[in-house]
């Protein structure tokens, strides 16, 4: 469990009077949510957005769920039944009000079990209050090897498996050495694991000591710099972005290659799931806007994106 010594960190989350449990990762939070949901009358059918991380599906499949994907661009609410599990994401930290309004409109007899994925929305105000289960992961925004949180409207068993030590060791070494290879090996160690695990001592120790209060405003400021120069919409009040979604007609792999060659790592890069009803993932590059970036770096990032877009336009 985490200490309460982080000034305002957990008080900034919408804990309300719900049950909460500190876990290792967002995937651990999802695993624990599904284990808790298994006590209810389920159809065995899960709905995932066409724009989602590939690591989500195995957690469902290994628990016997069948998976269907729904469109995110445009958003189309599928035909849901009571006992289905429906997961939606606040992608890149932007509140997904479209999904929430659609779910609210359902009659009670058709309302599924709702999993609200706040992994990208750790600091975004007004999120984390809708779902029956709410998932958080801290390592998307903080330099920690692990750490996450599960919120639930109902009490649940708080038994967890021990931390995955190989994953923790590799991620910690990767963070300290800034080695991309070690960080990737750590993710590979996690890929085959779908246990609901407790947070590591190392993760809790770092989380207690890391400054974080500057992060939300710095990310908003960097996003505003990029959005103005790339002619993209400004942020709404309260949104703290994981990154800036930059839509292109084609050439995602090439733009990401150029970004990495210039030292910019996209905060996420997802491939469209097989048979997904939308190709949004193939047309979306997420640009970094994290708090460590200065205006010179941001300006260089803008130049790369503008040069790429100009080349694509000329080739048409």
Instruction: Walk me through the domains of the chain, giving residue ranges and CATH numbers.
Output: 10-162+198-209 (3.40.640.10), 215-315 (3.90.1150.10)
The lowest-confidence range among 109-123, 129-143, 201-215, 249-263 is 201-215
pLDDT at 8 over 80: no
Please check the confidence at residue 6 and state whether its pLDDT lies above 50. Answer: no
Mean pLDDT across the stretch 14-21?
87
Q: Express each pLDDT in 189-207 by its tens digit.
A: 888 888 999 999 988 888 8
Beta strand 45-49 with 66-70: parallel, antiparallel or unpaired?
A: parallel
Q: Nearest Cα to 184, choosing from 174, 192, 172?
A: 174
Range in 2-16, 102-116, 222-236, 269-283 with the lowest mean pLDDT: 2-16
Q: Stretch 292-296: mean pLDDT, rounded?
A: 97
Work out the percent of the chain whose per-residue pLDDT is above 70: 97
Residue 3 confidence (pLDDT) above 50:
no
Q: Chain centroid to CA 298: how far?
A: 23
Per-position DSSP letters for 118-147, written without gaps between them: -TT-TT-TT-SSSSSEEEEESTTTSS-S--
Residue 174 has, within 13 A of its CA and on its CB side, a CA count of 19
Residue-level pLDDT at 255: 98
Strands 85-89 and 45-49: parallel
156: Cα separation from own chain's centroid: 23
Q: How confident is the model at residue 10 (pLDDT cuts 50, 70, 90)?
A: confident
Mean pLDDT of 108-122: 96
Higher-pLDDT residue of 225 and 175 is 225
Contacts of 155 (CB under 8 A, 6+ apart): 19
In angstroms, how far is CA 124 from the centroid of its own chain? 12
**78-100, pLDDT tens digit by residue?**
999 999 999 999 999 999 999 99
Averaged pLDDT of the chain: 92
Average pLDDT rounded to a whole number, residues 157-169 = 93
What is the average per-residue pLDDT within 297-302?
Answer: 98
Q: What are phi and psi of 300, to 5 degrees?
A: -65, -40
- 247-278 pLDDT, tens digit per residue, is 999 999 999 999 999 999 999 999 887 777 77
- Residue 12, CA distances (Å) to 45, 95, 237 in order: 33, 16, 16
Angle subtended at Cα 154 by Cα 158 and Cα 13, rounded to the nearest 5 degrees = 80
Residue 154 DSSP one-character state: S
């Amino acid at each position: 469990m985490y200490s309460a010594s982080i000034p305002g960190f957990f008080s900034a989350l919408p804990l309300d009077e719900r049950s909460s449990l500190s876990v290792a990762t967002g995937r651990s939070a999802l695993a624990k949510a599904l284990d808790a949901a298994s006590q209810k009358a389920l159809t065995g059918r899960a709905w995932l957005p066409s724009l989602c991380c590939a690591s989500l599906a195995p957690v469902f499949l290994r628990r016997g769920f069948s998976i269907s994907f729904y469109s995110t661009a445009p958003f189309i609410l599928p035909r849901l039944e009571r006992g289905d599990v429906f997961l939606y994401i606040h992608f890149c930290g932007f509140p997904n009000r479209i999904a929430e309004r659609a779910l609210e409109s359902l009659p009670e007899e058709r309302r599924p079990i709702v999993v609200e994925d706040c992994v990208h929305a750790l600091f975004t105000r007004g999120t984390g209050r809708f779902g029956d289960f709410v998932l958080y992961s801290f390592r998307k925004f903080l330099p920690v090897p692990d750490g996450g949180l599960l919120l639930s409207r109902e009490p649940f068993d708080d038994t967890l498996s021990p931390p995955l030590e190989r994953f923790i060791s590799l991620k910690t070494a990767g963070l300290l050495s800034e080695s991309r290879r070690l960080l990737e090996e750590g993710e590979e160690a996690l890929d085959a694991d779908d246990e609901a695990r407790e947070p590591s001592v190392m993760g809790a120790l770092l989380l207690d000591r890391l400054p974080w209060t500057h992060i939300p405003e710095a990310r908003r400021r960097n996003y505003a710099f990029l959005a103005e120069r790339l002619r993209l919409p400004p942020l709404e009040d309260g949104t703290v972005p994981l990154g800036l979604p930059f839509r292109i007609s084609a050439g995602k792999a090439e733009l990401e290659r150029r970004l990495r060659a210039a030292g910019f790592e996209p905060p996420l890069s997802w491939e469209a799931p097989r048979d997904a009803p939308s190709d949004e993932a193939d047309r979306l590059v997420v640009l970094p806007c994290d708090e460590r970036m200065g205006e010179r770096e941001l300006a260089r990032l803008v130049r790369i994106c503008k040069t790429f877009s100009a080349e694509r336009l000329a080739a048409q």
